[in-house]
């Protein structure tokens, strides 16, 4: 019985549902058509399909979807109006910009959608407007902190297709300056940049665009007394124009008004909700880059490093094929490089994935820190490869300038002490400087010393000891011999390994060094640099006892340069001009400078940088960061042109080359062009900020 009762109940419920559906269908069919007069029926019969133009950038009200079709709230309403009136619509997108009456008439348009329902359109010649089919409100979008008042002197952005609001704004906000923009997105960009104070638009459209992450800092302000009602507009002829008559237009508008009057509040509400839900803002890769722009910067740098490394690897494979004598060492190099590239690359890709999956600021910061360490290591691999390539081709040259050995040793010891402490290694240093200043290449001297100390750290166990000693003696020819020794009590090396340790692509593989990184180029590069400096690099080692590396080089005694005079420059007053033709690189540098309190402007090439500097007030720019390879005018030409300007600050402004081209020839050419220093890309942020800070404190020496 219970089963029979349940079956009967189910059948009853099903019958009720069927009856309810039948009632709904009957109700819908009863509204399937409007009641037309004979004249209106004749008009529909003679005009079964009407050409209707629609605005394309008013998501979710009226727009072209990804399939190239008319979509949005208006489309749902028009389809329902078509069903009720018996008229078919052919939807044609309208171009951006102001749409003129002549354009619509010559294009054969019968109707225009999404026209604002106001007195201006009601009285305009050549168009007839219907009753409103959609009502909402207009809202204002402004930057945070903007004081929005009706009597304020503000600039307001309006998009194309919104021109009839001009008179309304003029009446309600007489002090506003109205600025035209071609699209909604252009209006938002103008407000973000400060080019315009605010924009005014339909609330549904604003709710869509305000969801874009780049607009998240903008405020939405309701406007009282400004409704946003949309209607149809029929295009009719007047004067000598050919086209539909006024009478035909009036009949068409009457038919549309009858259909619009049959739209229920429930229908309109469902159309609106469906259009909004189906067309919510979709986050793009550009949005991801904006939200995680620091992480993206690390990723871009890593990608550049990887591309360069792959190119170098391919070049190296060609060399292997050409020289079979070094097959064993080179195969070991390829295996090592494959491991050294894949391991940090896997880490970078993993960290970037983790950053894309979390909004926890603390975690993102930690992931960025780890990515930075890994990217720095990849950059060191590139530097070693480039140095080795330059040495083998004979293109690497050493500079000759006064070197303050005390400053060099202070920097080297500071770095070494910090790194040794991380591994609980006891570090000691002793230096005797009878000639504290010599002529040489400071970068290369420091490079060799740091590599030897880093090598000692890698191959010394925790709790071990590393000693650094430096001494000098005068040679008969008046030159100074500098002798630097780095001794550790690590595992040491076999005699066979000592014979090949300075060959390229050789690494010590033992239990102590397990897990260390490196391509096996550092010692080979260091020995070649030492020999270019008139010295050598040698090693003494015993397995189980440790190793001693001895680095010697010769140099002429020199005098320390005099420090420059101080300038009265406030931190707040310095402004940086960034000449960079790559948009992403320019935005990154501007953001970095801004985060550290520096005002900066961007020039897209050398000619624009020259013009901006020439047109600025004397002293307005204190530092120029100059890319070297740019269209129209490169960095070398721009720097020389700036130095030749007839103004007080032309010789005084600090110009730093900022380029990925960092060969000795590039550095020398930059100096000859009047530049004061060189910043290598990828940019070392700390070094860049230090150079800018030092530029604030000292005037450029003009040599006059």
Q: Are residues 588 and 604 in the same domain?
A: yes
pLDDT of residue 289: 63
Secondary structure of residue 679 in the 3-state scheme: strand
Q: Flag whether 379 is in a domain.
A: yes
Q: Flag whether 183 is in a domain.
A: no
Q: Are residues 362 and 434 in the same domain?
A: no
Q: Flag whether 406 is in a domain.
A: yes
pLDDT of residue 100: 76
User: Once rounded to an integer, what is the mean pLDDT over residues 375-386?
Assistant: 62
DSSP 483-547: EEEEEE-S----HHHHHHTTSTT----STTTTT----S-HHHHHHHHHHHTT-EEEEEEETTTEE
The Cα–Cα gap between 248 and 252 comes to: 6
Instruction: Give 625-641 pLDDT, tens digit per residue.
Output: 999 989 899 999 999 99
Domain limits at 599?
Answer: 575-697
Q: Are residues 368 and 435 in the same domain?
A: no
Q: Flag whether 476 is in a domain.
A: yes
The Cα–Cα gap between 286 and 420 comes to: 42
Determine the longest span between alpha carbons in the chain, in angstroms: 122
pLDDT of residue 383: 65
Q: Flag whether 373 is in a domain.
A: yes
pLDDT of residue 113: 85
Q: Flag whether 671 is in a domain.
A: yes
578, 603 contact by CB (below 8 A): yes
pLDDT of residue 288: 65
Which of 300, 146, 296, 148 shows the shortest CA–CA distance to 213? 296
User: Once rounded to an integer, what is the mean pLDDT over residues 348-352?
Assistant: 66
CATH number, residue 524: 3.30.565.10
Average pLDDT, the chain: 79
555, 689 contact by CB (below 8 A): no
Query: pLDDT tier at 495 (50, 70, 90 boundaries)?
Result: confident
Query: pLDDT tier at 162 (50, 70, 90 boundaries)?
Result: low
Candidate from 11-25, 174-188, 269-283 with smallest mean pLDDT: 11-25
Query: pLDDT tier at 389 (50, 70, 90 boundaries)?
Result: low
pLDDT of residue 518: 52
Of the ranges 32-36, 192-196, 215-219, 623-627, which is most confident?
623-627
Instruction: Give 564-601 pLDDT, tens digit per residue.
Output: 433 334 444 579 999 999 887 888 888 888 888 889 99
Q: Are residues 432 and 298 in the same domain?
A: no
Q: Are residues 538 and 587 in the same domain?
A: no
Q: Are residues 367 and 511 in the same domain?
A: no
Select the more confidently predicted residue: 344 or 246. Answer: 246
Q: Are residues 585 and 692 in the same domain?
A: yes
Q: Are residues 364 and 414 in the same domain?
A: no
High-pLDDT (> 90) share of the chain, %? 27
Select the more confidently predicted residue: 452 or 326. Answer: 452
Q: Are residues 409 and 541 in the same domain?
A: yes
CATH number, residue 646: 3.40.50.2300
Boundary residue ending a domain (353, 369, 393):
393
The Cα–Cα gap between 544 and 398 comes to: 37
Select the more confidently predicted residue: 364 or 415. Answer: 415
Boundary residue ending a domain (358, 393, 428):
393
Q: Are residues 619 and 518 in the same domain?
A: no
pLDDT of residue 12: 41
Candidate from 220-229, 384-393, 665-674 with smallest mean pLDDT: 384-393
pLDDT of residue 217: 84
Q: Flag whether 355 is in a domain.
A: yes
Boundary residue ending a domain (505, 527, 555):
555
Q: Flag whether 161 is in a domain.
A: no
**Residues with Cβ within 8 Å of residue 549, at least 6 apart in sequence:** 452, 455, 456, 485, 486, 537, 538, 539
Query: pLDDT tier at 500 (50, 70, 90 boundaries)?
Result: confident
Split into its structural domains, the chain has a count of 4
Of the ranges 51-55, 426-430, 695-699, which is most confident?
426-430
Quote the tokens at residue 190: 């103008």
Q: Are residues 405 and 550 in the same domain?
A: yes
Select the more confidently predicted residue: 209 or 701. Answer: 209
Tell how many helices (H) and how many strands (E) occur in the chain: 23, 24
User: Once rounded to an integer, what is the mean pLDDT over residues 119-140?
Assistant: 81
Select the more confidently predicted residue: 84 or 312. Answer: 84
Query: pLDDT tier at 201 (50, 70, 90 boundaries)?
Result: confident
Q: Are residues 584 and 665 in the same domain?
A: yes
């Amino acid at each position: 019985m219970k089963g029979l009762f349940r079956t009967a109940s189910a059948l009853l419920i099903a019958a009720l549902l069927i009856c309810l559906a039948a009632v709904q269908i009957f109700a819908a069919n009863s509204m399937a058509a409007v009641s037309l007069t004979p004249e209106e029926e004749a008009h529909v019969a003679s005009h079964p399909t009407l050409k209707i133009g629609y605005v394309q950038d008013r998501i979710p009200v009226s727009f072209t979807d990804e399939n190239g079709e008319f979509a949005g709230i208006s489309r749902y309403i028009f389809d329902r109006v078509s069903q009720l009136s018996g008229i078919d619509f052919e939807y044609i997108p309208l171009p951006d910009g102001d749409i003129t009456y002549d354009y619509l008439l010559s294009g054969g348009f019968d109707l225009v959608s999404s026209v604002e329902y106001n007195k201006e359109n009601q009285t305009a010649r050549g168009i007839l407007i219907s009753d409103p089919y959609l009502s909402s409100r207009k809202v204002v979008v402004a930057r945070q902190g903007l004081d929005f008042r009706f009597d304020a002197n503000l600039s307001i952005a309006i998009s194309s297709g919104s021109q009839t609001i001009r008179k309304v704004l003029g009446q309600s906000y007489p002090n506003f300056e109205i600025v035209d923009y071609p699209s909604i997105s252009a209006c938002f960009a103008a407000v973000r940049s400060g080019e315009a104070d605010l924009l005014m638009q339909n609330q549904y459209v604003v709710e869509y665009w305000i969801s874009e992450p780049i607009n998240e800092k903008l405020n939405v302000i309701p406007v009282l007394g400004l409704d946003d009602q949309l209607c149809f507009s029929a295009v009719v002829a007047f004067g000598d124009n050919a086209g539909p008559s006024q009478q035909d237009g009036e009949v068409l508008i009457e038919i549309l008004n009858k259909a619009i009057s049959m739209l229920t509040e429930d229908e309109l509400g469902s159309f609106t909700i469906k259009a909004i839900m189906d067309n919510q803002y979709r986050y793009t890769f550009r949005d991801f880059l904006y939200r995680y722009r620091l992480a993206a910067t690390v990723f871009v740098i890593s990608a550049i490093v990887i591309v360069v490394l792959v190119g170098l690897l391919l070049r190296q494979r060609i060399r292997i094929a050409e020289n079979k004598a070094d097959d064993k060492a080179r195969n070991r190099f390829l295996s090592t490089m494959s491991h050294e590239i894949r391991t940090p690359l896997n880490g970078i890709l993993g960290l970037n994935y983790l950053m894309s999956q979390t909004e926890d600021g603390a975690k993102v910061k930690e992931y960025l820190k780890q990515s930075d360490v890994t990217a720095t290591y990849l950059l060191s691999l590139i530097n070693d490869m480039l140095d080795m390539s330059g040495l083998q081709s004979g293109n690497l040259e050493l500079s000759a300038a006064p070197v303050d050995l005390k400053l060099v040793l202070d920097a080297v010891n500071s770095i070494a002490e910090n790194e040794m402490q991380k591994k609980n290694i006891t570090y000691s240093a002793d230096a005797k400087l009878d000639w504290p200043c010599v002529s040489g290449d400071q970068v290369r001297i420091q490079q060799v010393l740091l590599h030897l100390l880093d090598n000692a750290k890698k191959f010394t166990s925790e709790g071990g000891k590393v000693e650094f000693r430096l001494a000098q003696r005068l040679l008969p020819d008046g030159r100074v011999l500098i002798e630097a020794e780095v001794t550790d009590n690590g595992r040491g090396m076999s005699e066979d390994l000592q014979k090949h340790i300075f060959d390229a692509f050789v690494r010590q593989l033992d239990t102590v060094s397990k897990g260390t990184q490196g391509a096996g180029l550092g010692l080979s590069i260091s020995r070649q640099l030492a020999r270019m400096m008139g010295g050598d690099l040698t090693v003494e080692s015993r397995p189980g006892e440790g190793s001693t590396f001895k680095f010697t080089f010769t140099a002429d005694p020199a005098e320390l340069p005099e420090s420059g005079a101080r300038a009265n420059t406030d931190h707040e007053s310095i402004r940086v001009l960034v000449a960079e033709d790559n948009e992403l690189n320019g935005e990154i540098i501007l953001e970095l400078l801004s985060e550290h309190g520096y005002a900066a402007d961007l020039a897209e090439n050398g000619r624009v940088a020259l013009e901006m500097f020439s047109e600025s007030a004397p002293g307005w720019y204190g530092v120029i960061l100059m890319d070297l390879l740019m269209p129209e005018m490169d960095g070398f030409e721009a720097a020389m042109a700036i130095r030749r300007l007839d103004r007080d600050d032309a010789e005084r402004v600090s110009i730093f080359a900022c380029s990925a081209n960092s060969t000795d020839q590039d550095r020398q050419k930059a100096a000859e062009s009047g530049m004061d220093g060189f910043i290598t890309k990828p940019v070392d942020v700390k070094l860049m900020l230090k150079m800018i800070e030092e530029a604030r404190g000292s005037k450029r020496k003009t040599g006059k």
